[in-house]
Amino acid sequence: MRVDMFLTRQGPPVLNQGRDSRSEVQRLILNGQITVNAKCVKSSVRVRAADRVQIAIVASCESHLQAEDLPLDVLFEDADCMVINKAAGMVVHPAAGISTGTLVNALLHHCPKLAGIGGEKRPGIVHRLDKDTSGAMIVAKTSLALENLGRQFSERRVGKEYLALVWGAMTADWGTNDRPIGRHRSDRKKMSSLHASSRQRTAVTEWRVESRFAVAGTKSGWISLLRLKPRTGRTHQIRVHLADMKHPLVGDRVYGRNFLKGETRDNKKLLGLQRFSRHALHAEKLTFEHPRSGERMEFAAPLPADMRELIGQLQRAQN
């Protein structure tokens, strides 16, 4: 018997009796909330004796946020999830003093049904990028996808790769920073791996040098292009690890402000650096298992124009 007919005939008490039972079952199947032998299925799949059929009823919280028609760069989308290329300068979700212009506002316009997935202020949000970090992000479109993807992140099964421009010439070609991160002892708005409070969490960042650029007229004399693979997802992890290694991100006005003071001399070769208004960090690649099919998927977000132009200026300056 088809799984939707089987459950309709069973009349399980967990179904919303205010709706037609079969329609409710089909809605749950579409949302990925019904599995057969731990796998998401279609309504037409037939069940057999000894099959294990499970219904996941996930409490949702309707969002009262305003949907806004904002630019959204979608790299992939299906019924379960979507991957977007977040623009630098866009806040991911509303917070104190910010209720409009966020990625969530844009997502609600693009996908109105997202309002019931997850928390009120973070519907569909599985992970975050800092406001000034650009690049690939995954968004869940069903409750089960949100749960599945969240579990992949917590179990560290999601692959992430970033590109970054940092001050100074790295002395080695590759390495790993595995210093735990916690709140800064004296500045509670910052994180630190060197001056953290007693409550710290494991943080691991692998890095590899892609290029080194000599930059005349700067205090450090060099800028390095790095590829980074964070194995954990702590707040400001990459920025903190790089700053504590004395190689802060170019443009980081929180963790690299001491470098910025020494890098603002009037030099024609520095015009591109002086105009760079954010920290130079881009989430280039994202790899995960599709929440329904289990297929391993990889997506790449192209470098934004500001980082591409700055790298081009640094390459030309070497000649």
Active site residues: 130
DSSP letters, 177-195, are E---EEEESS-TTSEESSS
Long-range contacts of 30-36 (CB under 8 A, 24+ apart): 30/79, 30/142, 31/142, 31/143, 31/144, 32/80, 32/142, 32/143, 32/144, 32/145, 32/148, 32/291, 32/292, 33/57, 33/58, 33/142, 33/143, 33/144, 34/3, 34/7, 36/3
Strands 281-289, 134-140: pairing kind: parallel
Distances (CA, A) of 104 to 77, 83, 119, 181, 281: 16, 13, 11, 28, 21
